[in-house]
């Protein structure tokens, strides 16, 4: 029988994936969660019908959301991930020898449990002794931990439901307070093709909270529009002025030192959008 997942993140366009097997499906306290095995992308985590990560293309997102801020900071020791319960960002962060501790603050413990069970290639670093998993709301966690983190990575779902409060000025001001004096943060900031007004608003909200704001892009096949935006808010370090020759060669498939600045070169329509 032909089984297909039809992802309806965007109102008038869908992405579809042929399903080999449904490995797990449940309603958690926060969202509908499914782990599916697909013909094209392998196993995938789906929340509220929206693809979060897949075995085939997860490396693009996880490498870009982590190595850009971590190689921009001079000496990142303590890192916070808000969301990111699949553990992919943690795996990449722990490739940086300077990192002594990383906290994962994920609201839904079932995402963590089921990623550990069904997506070990992505999640296994959650068991590393340098990683602390905290189950709770990232908004409160950030308010309660002022001045603690060198780098914060907001690896969240889209701006609806539990993640809605992770996309506004109040949250960006709290992130500023939660960072050390030379801290830097990054967030996944959606698709400029389908949600230009969201991308524009988020960029400007981050700009009101941080002296240095930069947007970079990466091509992620399973996210709507493929060409996905990330935005950096930084107190001191500018990703565009660092010396790329100091970037160490770590084990990656997408990120490398020549891409560090190149990914900030934006097409005209995005430059015009964010002004």
Stretch that binds ligand SAM, among 34-42, 162-170, 174-182, 198-206 (CB under 6 A): 162-170
The answer to the question of residue 156 lying near ligand SAM (CB under 6 A) is: yes
Q: Which of 34, 64, 82, 102 binds ligand SAM (CB under 6 A)?
A: 82
Cα 112 from Cα 86, distance rounded (Å): 6
Q: Which of 69, 76, 87, 138 binds ligand SAM (CB under 6 A)?
A: 138
Pairing state of beta strands 50-54 and 78-83? unpaired
Stretch that binds ligand SAM, among 17-25, 103-111, 208-216, 259-267 (CB under 6 A): 103-111
Q: Active site residue: 155, 182, 249, 251, which one? A: 155
Is 2 in the active site? no
- Of residues 177 through 216, those in contact with ligand SAM by CB under 6 A are 188
Q: Specify the residue, 119 or 212, whose C-beta has the smaller distance to ligand SAM.
A: 119
Cα 145 from Cα 125, distance rounded (Å): 23
Listed in sequence order, the residues at least 6 apart from 120 whose beta carbon sits closer than 8 Å to its beta carbon are none
DSSP helix/strand/coil, 168: coil
- Identify each DSSP E strand in 67-112 by its residue range: 78-83, 101-106
Name the minimum Å distance from CB 188 to ligand SAM: 5
Listed in sequence order, the residues at least 6 apart from 34 whose beta carbon sits closer than 8 Å to its beta carbon are 22, 24, 25, 45, 46
- Of residues 229 through 268, those in contact with ligand SAM by CB under 6 A are none
Pairing state of beta strands 32-38 and 212-219? unpaired
Q: Which of 137, 177, 182, 238 binds ligand SAM (CB under 6 A)?
A: 137
Residue pair 122/58 in contact by the 8 Å Cβ criterion: yes
How many Å from the N-terminal Cα to the C-terminal Cα in the chain?
49
Stretch that binds ligand SAM, among 116-124, 158-166, 175-183, 265-273 (CB under 6 A): 158-166
Residue pair 106/83 in contact by the 8 Å Cβ criterion: yes
The answer to the question of residue 60 lying near ligand SAM (CB under 6 A) is: no
Residue pair 239/232 in contact by the 8 Å Cβ criterion: yes
Q: Which of 68, 142, 162, 218 binds ligand SAM (CB under 6 A)?
A: 162
Q: Which of 34, 105, 179, 218 binds ligand SAM (CB under 6 A)?
A: 105
Stretch that binds ligand SAM, among 12-20, 99-107, 126-134, 257-265 (CB under 6 A): 99-107
Q: Residue 59: enclosing H or E segment and its boundaries?
A: helix 58-72
Q: Which two tokens stand for residue 156?
A: 């969240």
Q: Which residues are annotated as catalytic?
A: 155
Q: Which residues bind ligand SAM (CB under 6 A)?
A: 30, 47, 52-53, 61, 82-86, 105-108, 111, 137-139, 155-157, 162-163, 166, 188
């Amino acid at each position: 029988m032909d089984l297909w997942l039809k992802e309806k993140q965007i109102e008038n366009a869908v992405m579809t994936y042929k399903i080999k097997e449904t490995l797990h499906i449940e309603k958690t306290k926060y969202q509908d969660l499914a782990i599916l095995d697909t013909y094209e992308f392998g196993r995938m985590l789906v929340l509220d019908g929206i693809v979060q990560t897949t075995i085939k293309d997860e490396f693009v997102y996880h490498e870009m959301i982590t190595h850009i801020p971590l190689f921009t900071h001079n000496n990142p020791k303590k890192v916070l991930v808000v969301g990111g319960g699949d553990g992919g960002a943690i795996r990449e962060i722990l490739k940086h020898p300077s990192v002594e501790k990383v906290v994962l603050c994920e609201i839904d413990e079932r995402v963590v449990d089921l990623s550990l069970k069904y997506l070990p290639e992505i999640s296994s670093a959650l068991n590393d002794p340098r990683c602390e998993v905290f189950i709770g709301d990232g908004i409160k966690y950030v308010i309660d931990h002022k001045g603690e983190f060198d780098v914060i990575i907001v690896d969240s779902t889209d701006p609806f439901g539990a993640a809605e409060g992770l996309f506004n000025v109040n949250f960006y001001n709290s992130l500023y307070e939660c960072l050390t004096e030379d801290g830097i943060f990054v967030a996944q900031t959606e698709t400029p093709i389908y949600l230009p007004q969201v991308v524009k608003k988020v960029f400007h909200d981050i700009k009101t909270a941080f002296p240095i704001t930069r947007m970079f892009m990466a091509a992620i096949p399973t996210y709507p529009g493929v060409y996905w935006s990330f935005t950096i808010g930084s107190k001191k370090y500018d990703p565009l002025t660092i010396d790329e020759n100091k970037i160490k060669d770590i084990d990656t498939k997408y990120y490398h030192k020549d891409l560090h600045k190149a990914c900030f070169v934006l097409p005209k329509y995005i430059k015009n959008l964010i002004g």
